[in-house]
Structure 1
Amino acid sequence: MAIATLLQRESINVVDYRCNAGPDDRPFPEQHRQYSISFVRRGSFGCHIEGEHYELVAGSVFIGHPGGEYLCTHDHHGCGDECLSFGLSAEVVDMIAGPQRPLWRTRCVAPLPQLMIVGELAQVIAAGNSDMALDEAGVLLAAKYIEVVSGQSRRSLRTHAQARRRAVEAAMWIDANSQHAIDFEQAARQVGLSSFHFLRLFAAIIGVTPHQYLVRSRLRHAARLLADEDRPITAVALDVGFNDLSNFVRTFHRAAGMSPRDFRRAARGDRRIFREMMAPAARA
């Protein structure tokens, strides 16, 4: 495990985790020392929490609270995973969550478009390619988490290891090929399943349908390009797999709460846009 501390303050710290564990590495119980929210940006890993099993892929989010126990596994993918993790003080969590504080327990969250886009923005900031600050990105990601998961729950998944492996492999294949015109039948063939069984399996284990994950993967890649590069927005839309600009703008706006153009401006330090990003979460 390679660990790099990117920011260390009393109220928030940011750590870059790069894990190269694989199927041959023996898992062991771990415990969160603080409140945290971690964005999975590459690879995959399994996580056992209080009798439930989750599979996290690129775009998933891992929530931690002090004393929360978990056990991570790498049964399905040989090159590990990478996470950008924000550690938060109790005061910051109280400020962000308010009456929704019970939502901040150790848990895993399926890839949600609002969180994926903010996670990509945080990565751009971590790489030094934005005028926004890392602590701002952490607060925004935490606030968005509270906003989008309010009232949501995830049922316990009782699936065997081979089924989980196939779902994770399919998710990674979709993410790697999301710029192309693919459908769930192609993904089902990649893991040797019938279309009907694949749909049920993927949604149960990953937490979203294959098509939802495809669209969200495209949005995640688009967010990175918008923040990192100067290519025209139309080119970004086509490069990540959207067929036309209007569909891309509409889908991105629905996920991010702003247009691609405004997102690019926010990533480059437009304070007004950043305040507007925070406003819906503050009202949640």
Structure 2
Amino acid sequence: MRINHFLAAPRFDRFVCYPESFGHYYEDPAHRENRAAGQLTAYNWHIVRSGKGCVRIGGENVELQAGSGFLYGPGTKQSYYADDKDPWDVRWVHFNGPGIGGLLQDRGMGEPWLFSWVGCERLDKLWGKLLTFGIPSLQGGEARLSAVLYEMLAELVQNAEGLEGITALEQRGKIIEAAEWIRSHSSQPLTLEEMAAAADYSVSHFSRQFHGLIGKTPVQFLTECRIVQAKYLLVTTKLPVKEVAEQVGFASSAYFIQRFRLAEKITPEQFRRLRYG
């Protein structure tokens, strides 16, 4: 079952927020959406009331059940679908507005924000109120509709809790394993795509997750691994700097010296003399 309401743009263009469309889907195992980046220019917000479905994030499917929800920012790539055996009951709204970015604090931008609204029953009641509006009247209806949506968003921001923990342990394990893989293969000419593949993530998702957990980008971590290995060779061997650079994975000795000096504030030769001395 699908209930859809589509609205014209409001006559007053300074509402903080205003829905473009909203609805209620249930008992619909065929519910599935795949939108390319930039295809939907509005925020896309769903709450799950019963049943279950999945949201795809970084190449993985994250299952959502009753009491959870998700929010996509404008222009974000979107992929989600109902479970074919126990399809979710979802209420949804597409909306925009000049005052939304600050209220939502960039939630949903880049990738979907997953949240729990358990214990926030008022949110579902407000959603029911939104659905009863249907097409607003011209006499004050648009303002009331905007006000209800704003109240819903304020309720979400104040009471909903992020569900990043759903896959946090799994993601942490994958990133740490990928970091160890990078370390053990650092002497090879690795690309960012190859590093992301080690975690079975897309490049963009891998880069964000890696930086969030490790505290530096994958490329910065790779360079750090190479410099650490170079220090060992500089102190334990008499290899020329050029050969040290080659053995640890730098494409040229000039670039190696540049990165080493940036990291250590001295040249490789100075480091060698300092440590040998």
For normalisation by structure 2, the TM-score amounts to 0.43
Rg: which structure is higher? 2
TM-score by length of 1: 0.42
